[in-house]
Amino acid sequence: METVKRARAHVARLDLSTDQTAVLDDQAHAARALWNLLHEYFTFRQGRFAMLKDCDAAIRQARREIDWLGRLPAQAAQAVLKTYRQAWANFFNPDHPAGRPVFKARYRSRPAVDVPQARDLQIARVNRRWGAVSLPKVGRVRFRWIRDLPGVTRGGPAGRITGARLVKEADGWHIVFRTEHHVPVPAPHPGPAVGIDQGITVALALSDGTMREHGPWLTTGEKERLRRLEKKSARQRRTRGPGQPTSDRLNRTYDQIARLRATAKRRAVDWQHQTTTQLARAFGVIAVEDLEIVNMVRSAKGTVDDPGRNVAQKAGLNRAIAGEAWGRTVVFLEYKSRDRGGRIVKVAARGTSQTCHRCGHRDPAARTGIRYACASTACGWVGHADVNAAINIRNAAGTAVSGRGDLGFTRSVKRQPPRVA
């Protein structure tokens, strides 16, 4: 039977002591500093890019001469070099959306530490709710056991763990296990085709007339607490003079705001996972719009000479669009449909919400809120505007912008590979 390799990530929350948290924080800061040192060495070395062996030698020398850099495990340091080189490879790949590698700021980058070899982890299940893992220079740490890991539990899923990455979020440290499975090539999905229109009033409208909706990500009390914390942070910022460092009280307020926003994001991701799994199981072909989300959420402030209009309203719309995370929904649909033998088709978004799916008459004034009333005297169809758009998306699936399952990224400038010294 023909098989295909499937790589997936499994995220679990770590249960760390205060001392273990401090050790991981130090390792993450050392990894960030090493990235910055590599970037400076790689890009400013006599005007030429450094070779891989020179970077490796520089890392070994730095770990011997700089005490605090030795807090980072040797394998994690090599993983930083590998990730850094891959970042340049992605940048020079014309089909990859990655930008040019830059220095990592202390408070604007996500703390992370790599554990590239799985044999160092020594994963074991402690009880029904907890598992245990060994982390370099940290020791034995418990983590939340949510699902069985491949190659760990007897009778669990087939496959193996190839490594892990430790990532610090607003609510603490998490471990991301890198798993690898060999599964049979899925047969073509026998389900029907469907078009999906993503919106704000209705999260997902399907061409079969059904909706996929959700409530607010935060409760009323959580929203009020977030509003009070944001006002508090504004007052604390006003008391800080130019050039003065951020106070500990303001940092604590920022941390409280970040935890609330992280709670909202977790709930949104959970809803997206459940909804996209249901859609991937039910439909063989899923048509979505090829949206330019970056252009859609641009600010309306304008310039001094040509100021924008309705700036506050546009800012609120941008926040609503960002809160729905349309791009993440499509990414989930892509790999889940591919795993089940289905496929995603992306169609041009132009005119899908202004055109009547029955007669093809296009009129921007036909849509009023969530109601669509065809202005053609020969048709006169009236119904839900988002469902009408979803039907148009399904009908237009034959003229897709990208139907390969990728995101269809393109570049306008062909970059050349770096010179090697």
Would you mind telling me the total number of residues written for the chain in this entry? 421
What strands, in cross-sheet order, belong to the sheet with 3-15? 112-115, 160-169, 172-184, 3-15, 139-144, 130-135, 124-125
Bridge partners (DSSP) listed for residue 143: 14, 131
CB within 8 Å of 147: residues ≥ 6 apart: 10
Closest-CA residue to 16 (of 142, 112, 147): 142
Of 160, 149, 118, nearest to 135 by C-alpha is 118
Residue entry with tokens 């030795």 = 70
**Other CB atoms within 10 A of residue 385 CB:** 22
In whole angstroms, how large is the CA radius of gyration of the chain?
25
DSSP 352: T
Does this model's pTM top 0.95? My answer is no
pLDDT (tens place) for every residue of the chain, 421 residues total: 688 888 889 999 999 999 999 999 999 999 999 999 888 888 776 556 777 788 888 888 888 888 888 889 999 999 999 999 899 999 999 888 888 999 999 888 899 999 998 888 999 999 989 999 999 999 999 999 988 888 887 777 788 899 999 999 998 999 999 999 888 888 899 989 999 999 998 999 999 889 999 999 999 999 999 999 999 999 999 888 888 888 999 999 999 999 999 999 999 999 999 999 999 999 999 999 988 888 888 887 776 667 777 788 888 888 888 888 999 999 999 999 999 999 999 988 888 888 888 888 888 888 888 888 887 767 888 889 999 999 999 988 764 444 433 333 333 333 444 443 3
Strand partners, 14: 143
φ/ψ (deg, to 5) at 216: -65, 145
Residue 176 bridge partners (DSSP): 11, 165
